[in-house]
Structure 1
Amino acid sequence: MDHLEDAEPTLYYTPPPPSYVEASQCPAYVAGTPHPLTPPPSYVEAVGEPNGIPLYPYPILNIPNHITEVHQTQPVFVEQAIRSAPPQVLVVTQQEVRRRLGDGPTVTTCPFCQHRINTVVSYKPGAAAWGVCCLLTLLGFVCGVCLIPFCITALHDVHHSCPLCNKHIGIHVR
């Protein structure tokens, strides 16, 4: 380690870079440099024809004089698995698209008794009736005026039921 500390750094001389004028002058454009009077030789003249075959700009397609047949055989191994599958049973079920229940009696199929029915409707106060009641109360309409929405069936929810089995089918919410 001592000899590395004792060694002096070696300095190399590098010449300064050329000035802008010197660097911008290309040797071909410097005054007094003559231009060559003849063009450079072509590739064939400079390199020559490879293997004595003349070079053409486009390939020449030659039709072969004779055709040789090539026969190759390779062993092929085929593995087949034979499985007996049980016969498939196809079950087709026809499902009726449920109609959207409206605000009046609707013709549909009861999901409980599977009969084609015309639903029985009953009107019960829902969120719309209660919302209008609260709004009227906030506006100061008390003393029975705020109860008017409970008498208007257009603000009630519509409950659909089956007339045969009396089961509840669905609700049309307003």
Structure 2
Amino acid sequence: MEKGYNPPPYGWGNAHTTQPPPAAPPSYSQAVGGVGPSSPYTPQNPPSSGPSIVTTVVPVGPHPTHMICPSCHAEIDTATQTKPGLIAYISGAIIFLLGCSLGCCLIPCCIDSCMDVHHKCPNCGTYLGRYRR
């Protein structure tokens, strides 16, 4: 090999061209134009046309629930009332179809575990929800 001979650099073509190396690819923020990643779980800020209202759903259960009434904004324990629900009616229909038609089919309407629980505000009377069995 001759002294002073330098082999051509790889990727630049032959030894007589002096082209610069290819540029690096753009970064993610440059490629998408400064828009960050988005998913259904990313909070979106809608255009503000006034004060926003934030509501919180408090799950109601079979017992009175401690909460703040969304209507009168009082701190309350909900007033509950039980009423026959879908399970009571289906159970009664099954009992009736099995031949117990002398009033036994009404027994599920008297059992608390077959009843739906309706919640109201004791302060203003607003209906707050239902717990279905």
TM interval, shorter chain, is 0.5 to 0.7
| Separation in structure 2 between the aligned mates of residue 110 and residue 60 of structure 1, nearest angstrom | 80
Contact 1:98-1:108 at 8 Å conserved across structures = no
Hey, what does 2:122 align to over in structure 1? 163
The alignment status of 1:104 with 2:63, answered yes or no, reads yes
| Separation in structure 2 between the aligned mates of residue 101 and residue 141 of structure 1, nearest angstrom | 35
Higher fraction of strand: 2
* Greater relative contact order (CA < 8 Å, ≥ 6 in sequence): 2
The alignment status of 1:154 with 2:113, answered yes or no, reads yes
Hey, what does 1:59 align to over in structure 2? 7
The alignment status of 1:122 with 2:81, answered yes or no, reads yes
Hey, what does 1:75 align to over in structure 2? none
Deviation at 1:126, TM superposition (A): 1.3
TM-score, normalization: structure 1?
0.47
The count of aligned residue pairs is 94
3-state SS in 1 of match to 2:108: helix
Alpha-carbon RMSD: 3.1
Give the ranges of 4+ consecutive aligned residues of structure 1 lying more than 3 Å apart after TM superposition: 91-96
Q: Which runs of 5+ in 1 are unaligned?
A: 1-53, 62-88
Task: Summarize the Cα distance change of 1:60–1:111 in structure 2 as closer, same or farther, 3 Å threshold.
Answer: closer
Hey, what does 1:67 align to over in structure 2? none
Q: Which runs of 5+ in 2 are unaligned?
A: 10-47
Hey, what does 1:136 align to over in structure 2? 95
Q: 1:15-40: per-residue Cα shift (whole Å, max 9, x none)?
A: xxxxxxxxxxxxxxxxxxxxxxxxxx
3-state SS in 1 of match to 2:89: helix
Deviation at 1:116, TM superposition (A): 1.4
| Separation in structure 2 between the aligned mates of residue 145 and residue 94 of structure 1, nearest angstrom | 50
Larger radius of gyration: 1
Equivalent pairs: percent with the same residue? 35
Contact 1:126-1:156 at 8 Å conserved across structures = yes
